[in-house]
Chain A
Amino acid sequence: MTRSRSTRRLASFAAALVVTGLALLAPMPASAQEYKIGPLKISAPWSRATPGGAKVAGGFMVIENTGKSSDFLVGGSFVRSGRIEIHEMAVVGDIMRMRELPQGLEIKPGAKVTLKPGGYHVMFMELKAPLKEGEVVEGTLVFKSAGTVKVSYRVGAMGKKPGSHHGKH
């Protein structure tokens, strides 16, 4: 009797542990949020908190093309901003160069393209209000062939790097 009761108690304690553990883990799988449209898979869109007065922010994610033909990310929307553009940025010879991709960003068949700080990014223009760490902001992405897909961007710290959880050390 006592034995089975203590076993039961142990079992419920273990269950509670598992539930607590899952609850703790919950924010992590959420950051790996995935969206699908046609043969395209979009993983974990994110952005960064913006400094006061800034009217722009970058949107980052990984886009995978499981299809047999190229598609192009040509635009989209972001509820917090007037419009978005698709940009490429690079620092070469210590000069920061940025350009709009006039044909959009090509996602070749079988390719996994990473949009990240210092490289390709969706640029949110004419921000109506600053982005704050911890927010989730809705938007859409428009692909030339696949069409429009709704996505949510998680806003990280101002200096957040891909994969990290904090900007400051």
Chain B
Amino acid sequence: MAVSKARLAAVVTAAAVVAAVATLLVLGTGNPLRSTASYKALVGGPFTMTTQDGKRLSERDLLGKPFAVFFGFTQCPDVCPTTMLEVANMMTRLGPDADKMRFLFVTVDPDRDTPALLKSYLASFDKRIIGLVGTAAETERIVKAYRVFYEKVPTKAGYTINHTATMFLMDAQGQFAKTIAFKEDEKIKLSKLKALIAGR
């Protein structure tokens, strides 16, 4: 009797310790780690699309350098040219550091945008910006990977497109690092790019 009582107490104590450790793991270090990892995994992922020079490009070709990606279309009158102009200005300010990262412009209007159109469009800003156009399926894939919202809005004689105006910053391993919002101050945008290039 006395022995089995002692044994029971030992078992209960051991169980309590296991439970406490497990709780610590889940609530302590385990949880934030897991949430960061899953958040990182939420934005970004594999894609293959066609550049403005007609070459195929996938996320694997981008490994080794961080990149910034923006989703838009050439018939977008305001947000897209404004953002691309800002990108071009920031590239000028970054100087040689601009070549330590890449800038991507992905069209969400594969029906009207072509590699040739993207080439002429992006040349107005900075030729180093990589334009990407895909089939409907390829576009859908990258849009889903980056959690981007877009929808066609009919107008009298055609359509326009509502879309996410966020720029996504990805590190040299292709992992999500930060976002840049459209309305953020250009100084803050530039500092985020500098941090991305520095690997911070």
Contacts and interface: CB of A to CB of B under 8 A. Distances in A.
Are both chains from one complex? yes
Nearest to B125: A51
A51 B149 CA distance: 24
Contacts of B117: 53
Interface string B159-183: 0101111100000000000000111
Interface stretch (B23-31, B32-40, B82-90): B82-90
A124 B12 CA distance: 77
A51 B78 CA distance: 11
A33 B155 CA distance: 31
B136 interface: no
Contact of B77 (A52, A95, A121, A159): A121
A62 interface: no
B101 interface: no
Contacts of A22: none
B121 A95 contact: no
26 contacts: A51-B121, A51-B124, A52-B120, A52-B123, A53-B116, A53-B118, A53-B121, A54-B75, A56-B77, A83-B157, A87-B155, A89-B77, A89-B79, A91-B165, A94-B164, A94-B183, A96-B76, A96-B164, A96-B182, A98-B153, A98-B160, A98-B162, A100-B156, A117-B82, A125-B157, A158-B85
Q: Determine the interface band of chain A, counting residues with CB < 8 A from chain B.
A: 20 to 34
A97 B118 contact: no
A50 interface: yes
A76 interface: no
B46 interface: no
Contacts of B119: 53
Contacts, number: 95
Which applies to chain B's interface (DSSP): helix, strand, loop or mixed?
Answer: mixed
B48 interface: no
**Size class of the contact patch on chain B:** 35 or more
A54 B81 contact: yes
B96 interface: no
A167 interface: yes
B95 interface: no
Contacts of A50: 81
Contacts of B164: 94-96
Interface string B17-61: 000000000000000000000000000000000000000000000
A123 interface: yes
A57 interface: yes
B162 A51 contact: no
